[in-house]
Structure 1
């Protein structure tokens, strides 16, 4: 703590003269004859940044000497040393944001690539992995060409921003900024300053890209095993630009839901509700898998599936930990709550499997983990940890009921072939998390993060009831927009490209679609040939016969 006198650049001082305030970091030091003039950066309300020119004095009003400054912990660590270290750059925030972005990127590449390749039937392993791989690359190019600024740029409509490239040097090395995030009170005065993190725009562009990419890859889980790969290649950029950017700007980029006070901390609505609803809609229009695939679709590698799921879980620390745009006190709360909710949800889902089916399911445990991660996302840094446990209990049970009970009783859910159940694990869990945030968002934590003052969950009284209503209305908007936009995009693509693979490709799988197979089980790259590799032939003169004891195994009779 330092006692400071200051001269404000603002006409209305926001802190009293000679007050005690926490020093966040030194921006610049200027040595004068009898005092030290510093540019300091502090954070009123722990988030919204203001720059002031401060004259640093001792508690007795005397100018501090260099020795006093050293004792106060002031160094040149954040002063401008080279052109690559501007005055506004916070190296810690920048390092964390790039780390968080890398965590989220690893969730997709290779996390979901591995998960998809191993959780599907063997004949669809290559195709499923490639759909994720292609989406990751295509989203990045579309994002920097026009997508980022459609989601976080200058306003075009209340729910959409003006698209423009994010490729120029001047733009990327400037200080990060979300231009429409300034929040005004009803009387026109500023309640919350523009979001301006202490790192370059390039860091923010890349961080938000990883969110956009994983949304498309999650959506892909609904149409695995039958969507025409050419149709998917056309769908990815169109859905990114005409569906994802609308939700991102509306809730994060300064759109109408952002300024109305809707809470979506890190993507419960923008990412998970959107991908779940859009995936379900896409599954309806693409059509189902083959009847044989719907009836029997076992994972081809359960252990590899767990590896992909583990990367997804650990990567979520960057997913929710990076949302505050700073290495501040909100980030570790979000990371802790994320893991608490995921663990609780996994245990609840597994317990329900044991109670009702008599044995724990590894796939069920992964689904429970996923619903917990999704559910906590809209409120990870805004709820207390006991609330994270409660959210985990509900996310491990309500989506379980929707998948195991309601799905079997609903004609619509039975008709639509959602390959990996993305509707249940993301749409249901994302909606649940958003509504629970409207109930459990803690007022003190909301003050650290949200643009609208006095935000709180309904559990805490006051305006909390209205907050729950806002969460519900926002969910309806996201659901409606994704149904309409996804439908229009797919119907437009269908005019030129069939959405579903032809029957001969559906029967064969990867070899017909890509000319490649995931596993060379019959020699060094040799493909399966029933005339040489069938059960009744052997290179060693062995007669192969089906085993009467183990389904799918083979007995061996050797002719001596």
Structure 2
């Protein structure tokens, strides 16, 4: 074991954990005041639910002995054999540390989905869906890419979760929007954020935590971690600018919500590429990512689905762009793999196949899970409860006492 690596990943795991409360603030500020607690609760509860699922069964399904390239075995069920000694995919870290670092990814990913169905889902069925989704979608995707499964064996590059985290949550978000339908008043009355300073605070926490997300995925305190740290920051900065420029041209104003959304779009886009590209490539990925994700958010108006807090447009579209951009900009001197611009067009083709497979699997299974939970329990709140707000109807609380 390496003491420096261990200390570094301990800190990175804590940073990734902090992202989920940051996401709670980011989403809650964009909701209406009557739904601020309900929206925040969707993220906060995952700190409990997803952690328990992960340590009981999720980790072993993701990182247990490979079974046909599709799923991990039950070697680590209930964390059996996961201790303080080096183990799992790493030889330099305690096995428990690798497990808990990956746990924080499993916590935030289903929390990302919740932005799509904010303000209209019942709490109990949401929790049940999240448990099922972690078992049947997240854990297999994690195994395919990082646990010895077929996608990683094919050569798909995903440094920190473009497919595992962002495309999977974006595909599930689209399924959620289609199954639950639109909010009352969507497209006919103003539905505006109630507290943008809260959203900006959440975005700042996400940006901060993302350094643990991406740099920590090097799994060592080394040059690869430093490169991932720099590319992460550069891409976020460039995407913030890219979003605001397009927003100004299209909307006539550069907004604070646009700045927050643009930064997150850049963080999403660079996630699969962070350990494979140079800082200048990250600049291009972020700049294009900000513009592309702005367009992705507009898709819901064009096609009429209600993705409440723009999960599809930012995480789905941004993750897709990032995965493809990895196949374009990857250079061997950074991460040991070359992309299109370095003379290896085959990598872009592999990235494309991984994108198609991720969207197809995650959307299909998520759609089925939503349908099953809806049939058994009923996903959507009543019209009266939706009108009164989820804070009162689902939690018997109010975010503000005015």
TM-score, with structure 1 as normaliser: 0.70
Q: Is residue 383 of structure 2 the alignment partner of residue 503 of structure 1? A: yes
| Contact map agreement 1:197 1:325 (CA 8 A) in 2 | no
2:334 corresponding residue in structure 1: 445
Q: Return the alpha-carbon distance in structure 1 between the equivalents of residues 188 and 392 of structure 2.
A: 20
CA distance in 2, matches of 1:166, 1:306: 40
The alpha carbon displacement at 1:355 in A equals: 2.5
Distance across 1 between alignment mates of 2:194 and 2:185: 18
Query: What's the offset of the Cα at 1:494?
Result: 1.9
In the other structure, the counterpart of 2:7 is: 95
1:261 aligns with 2:155: yes
- Are 2:193 and 1:299 equivalent residues in the alignment? yes
1:457 aligns with 2:346: no
User: In 1, distance between residues paired with 2:177 and 2:46?
Assistant: 17
Partners of 2:295 and 2:313 within 8 A in 1: no
Distance in 2, matches of 1:336 and 1:466, equals: 27
* 8 A contact 2:296–2:312 mirrored in 1: no
2: CA distance, partners of 1:231 / 1:344? 39
Cα distance in 2 between the residues matched to 1:158 and 1:118: 41
What residue is the counterpart of 2:320 in the other structure?
431
1:198 paired to 2:96 = no
Match of 2:239 among 335, 345, 352: 345
Q: CA deviation at 1:418?
A: 0.6
Paired position in structure 1 for 2:394: 513
Supply the distance in 2 between the matched residues of 1:293 and 1:131 (Cα, whole angstroms).
Answer: 24
Deviations 1:177-231 (A, max 9, x none): 22xxxxxxxxxxxxxxxxx231211101110011111110111111101011111
Task: Kindly indicate whether the alpha-carbon contact (under 8 Å) linking 2:51 and 2:103 is maintained by their aligned counterparts in 1.
Answer: yes
How far apart, in 1, do the equivalents of 2:79 and 2:207 lie? 35
Is 2:387 the partner of 1:475?
A: no
RMSD, matched Cα: 1.5
Q: 2:352, 2:186 → 1: CA distance?
A: 39
| 1:284 maps onto 2:178 in alignment | yes
SS at match of 1:397: helix
Partner SS for 1:295:
coil
Give how far 1:293 is off.
8.5
Provide Cα deviations, 1:142-173, integer angstroms capped at 9, x if missing partner.
Answer: 10001001001111231211235554575222
Is 1:140 the counterpart of 2:51 in the alignment? yes
Corresponding residue for residue 270 of structure 2: 376
Q: Does structure 1 residue 246 correspond to structure 2 residue 140?
A: yes
Q: Distance in 1 between matches of 2:180 and 2:36?
A: 19
More strand by share: 1
- Secondary structure of 1:237's counterpart equals helix
Cα distance, 1:113 vs structure 2: 1.5
Rounded to whole Å, the distance in 2 between the matches of 1:258 and 1:235 is 27
Residues 146 and 140 of structure 1: CA distance in aligned 2, closer, same or farther (over 3 Å): same
With a CA cutoff of 8 Å and minimum separation of 6, indicate the structure with the bigger relative contact order. Answer: 2
* Corresponding position: 1:364 with 2:258: yes
The answer to whether the 8 Å contact 1:435/1:471 transfers is: yes
Which residue, out of 212, 224, 230, partners 1:330? 224
**1:486 corresponds to 2:375:** no
The count of corresponding residues between Structure 1 and Structure 2 is 401
Residue 407 of structure 1, CA deviation: 4.1
SS state at 1:291 partner? coil
Counterpart CA distance in 1 for 2:203 and 2:223 is 28
Could you say which structure has the larger radius of gyration? 1
* CA displacement, residues 242-270 of structure 1 (integer Å, 9 cap, x when unaligned): 00111111111111111111100110111
Counterpart in 2 of 1:403? 297
SS at match of 2:116: coil
SS of residue matched to 2:376:
coil
Q: Which secondary structure does the structure 1 equivalent of 2:120 belong to?
A: coil
Deviation at 1:408, TM superposition (A): 3.5
Query: 1:294 and 1:204 mapped to 2: Cα distance?
Result: 48
Which of 100, 103, 119 does residue 209 from structure 1 map onto? 103
Partner residue, 1:112: 23
Structure 1 residue 512, shift from structure 2 partner:
2.0
